[in-house]
A and B are shown apart, each in its own frame.
Chain A
Amino acid sequence: MAQHCEDAGDRARAEVAVEIIDLHKWYGDFHVLRDINLKVGRGERIVICGPSGGGKSTLLRCINRLEDWQRGRIVVDGIELTDEPKHIVAVRRDVGMVFQQFNLFPHLTVLENCTLAPIWVRRMPKHDAEALAMRYLERVKIPDQAHKYPARLSGGQQQRVAIARALCMNPNIMLFDEPTSALDPEMVKEVLDTMVALATDGITMLVVSHEMGFARQVADRVIFMDEGQIVEINEPKGFFDHPQHPRTRLFLEQILR
């Protein structure tokens, strides 16, 4: 256990959190990801936007190997992702993910959702895992819902539980796959606020989102993807005020109208 913590610490100090090199992916004949090259620095906060079908989510899902690829390499926290199950599990322990549809486990209470992976993957004693879960539920401001089932919660609350569940594994990197797209408008803010608070903690974040206000406020870099390619990467100010590529300009005009 101590050995493992030391390893994680070493990796956390490494400069590069995620490195993607010459990545290509096909679904059958369809070329979804084309020549993706990206280095994400430790503690960096990245927002990926672009039209749907552009490969944003697929790229994000490659980073914890929910999707495989045909060409190229991905190195996460110094671990190269291959077919080797040990490496995949090691990366997944270090990378938390939040989904568009929350994907909470409906048969478990909020607290059990949060303690499941710490107990069964990290081998944490139940009591410690519950204390840890309560700490994170307090951070996402729903400790009072701990013993309810997810179906009893609003969408915004469910998504905050999903964030707490991912944080309970103490990840170095968090992936957010359109975390507010399935929410009613009045619940978007509570989830974004939670994510902003998380961003100030210095955790590495990759967020697929169309929340441009969030991108402006939090992102170190914004990535625009279209047709499976990275079209433009820039700091938020430059990205929004002076988009370079015509495709980026068109996209921004359409969503900021």
Chain B
Amino acid sequence: MTTISDTPRSYLRQVPVGRLPPPTTQAGLFGWLRSNLFSTPGNIALTIICILFIAWAVPPLLRFFLIDAVWTGTDRQACLASATNPQPGACWAFVRMWISYFVYAFYPIDQRWRVDTFFLALSFGAGWLLWPSAPRRDLGAVYFFVVLPIISFVLLSGFPAIGLAAVPTSLWGGVLVTIVVATVGMVVSLPLGIALALSRRSHIPVVRLLSVTFIEFVRGVPLITVLFMASVMLPLFVPERFSPDKLVRALIGVALFASAYMAEVVRGGLAAIPRGQYEAARALGLGYGRMMALVVLPQALRVTLPNIVNTFIGLFKDTTLVFIVGIFDFLGTVEAARGDPKWASPFTSVTGYVFAGLFYFICCYGMSRYARSVEAHLSRAGRS
């Protein structure tokens, strides 16, 4: 602007150009609205259509689920149309009445404190492990992977020697079973999946063949089939008294199934690690185990974190399939409760399913958000 010298072919800057703020059309609320909602005619049309859709869909939903909804009551009468409530909405009274069944199912009422204690112990361990700046996370891992499973088993199944009455797994159900199946599935599938992925890349042909066979077989079969095989076929081959408990069989089925998927996810992460990382580790004298544990896997798992969480979310929802082999998970309890004639009303089923949907959504969305925050944390630290 000011510094072009007289000779046209050469140039020497005399005054440095300071930083200027961006033009107002790009900054602030107006800038945002303009560039995101009203930038082109097509964009404007889309914005208007979306606003109309929201205006059409949201108010009736709010009215049905919140404003007209029935919150209190002791039986179906509350949720039927009456003089005081000519157009009743969702029947939340039904959910309130059945909620303890949804959580504990047939777990003996006087023993339910044991389930609560298990939930507390689990949340404590999960919080310890998942909160990135928690103190002594190594101890947290020991607690979560060693102490917690023992406590949980003793608490939930019972241990008559110390005064905890045995509770057979046929009485377990509801959220308890969903959480147990999902947690065991996740905790087992990650290490097992890593082991399978490493075996699949092994230089030893037999190891590789076994791993590939297992992964491809499990991935080629629906989870329902695996569950049926675990619950129906296993007892045919194993004598009755060695045959494990029904819930344990389902747990094994779910865990093995998830492991095969996890193996493929981890394999993708391993493939993303450049050869130079292996070479640098080996040149420093690290053996295979330490190279993998200290250099390769930490990076591979970080790369695959979104996919790992994606698999976990899928697994969490797949736990509903244990209903097929006669285990009452959370969705199973909702399914059973909505058939209760005492609560038969036009909207009982809808309310039950929406409640179940909310539960699964909150759990899965929570996992997804957590993964995003960890990713953001890692990229802020500049570890990419």
A225 within 8 A of B: no
A4 within 8 A of B: no
Task: Provide the A56-67 mask, 1 if CB < 8 A to any CB of B, else 0.
Answer: 000000001010
* Contact residues in B for A120 (Cβ distance below 8 Å): 286, 290, 294
Q: A165 and B383 in contact (CB under 8 A), knowing A99-B276, A103-B279, A106-B299?
A: no
Structural contact, B285 and A99, CB atoms closer than 8 A = no
Chain A residue at minimum C-beta to C-beta distance from B299: A107
Number of chain A residues whose Cβ lies closer than 8 Å to a Cβ of chain B: 27
Please report the C-alpha to C-alpha distance between residue A99 and residue B274 in the assembled complex, in whole angstroms: 13
B280 within 8 A of A: yes
Please report the C-alpha to C-alpha distance between residue A105 and residue B299 in the assembled complex, in whole angstroms: 9
Structural contact, B299 and A66, CB atoms closer than 8 A = no
Structural contact, B299 and A89, CB atoms closer than 8 A = no
Task: Provide the A89-127 mask, 1 if CB < 8 A to any CB of B, else 0.
Answer: 100110111010101111100000000110011000000
Q: Within the complex, which residue of B279, B282, B284, B384 is in contact with A116, where a contact is CB–CB below 8 Å?
A: B284
A31 within 8 A of B: no
Give the tally of cross-chain contacts (CB within 8 A). 67
Please report the C-alpha to C-alpha distance between residue A85 and residue B289 in the assembled complex, in whole angstroms: 13
Q: Within the complex, which residue of B285, B287, B290, B295 is in contact with A105, where a contact is CB–CB below 8 Å?
A: B295
Q: Among residues 143 to 164 in chain A, which have CB atoms less than 8 Å away from a CB atom of chain B?
A: 148-149, 151-152
Nearest chain B CB to A184's CB is how many angstroms away?
Answer: 19
Structural contact, B279 and A92, CB atoms closer than 8 A = no
* Contact residues in B for A205 (Cβ distance below 8 Å): none
Chain A residue at minimum C-beta to C-beta distance from B298: A107
Chain B residue at minimum C-beta to C-beta distance from A67: B279
Structural contact, A117 and B277, CB atoms closer than 8 A = no
* Contact residues in A for B383 (Cβ distance below 8 Å): 106-107, 149, 151
Structural contact, A121 and B286, CB atoms closer than 8 A = yes
Please report the C-alpha to C-alpha distance between residue A65 and residue B276 in the assembled complex, in whole angstroms: 14
A169 within 8 A of B: yes
Chain B residue at minimum C-beta to C-beta distance from A152: B382
- The 3 A-B pairs with the shortest beta carbon distances in the complex, nearest first, are A103-B280, A117-B284, A103-B276
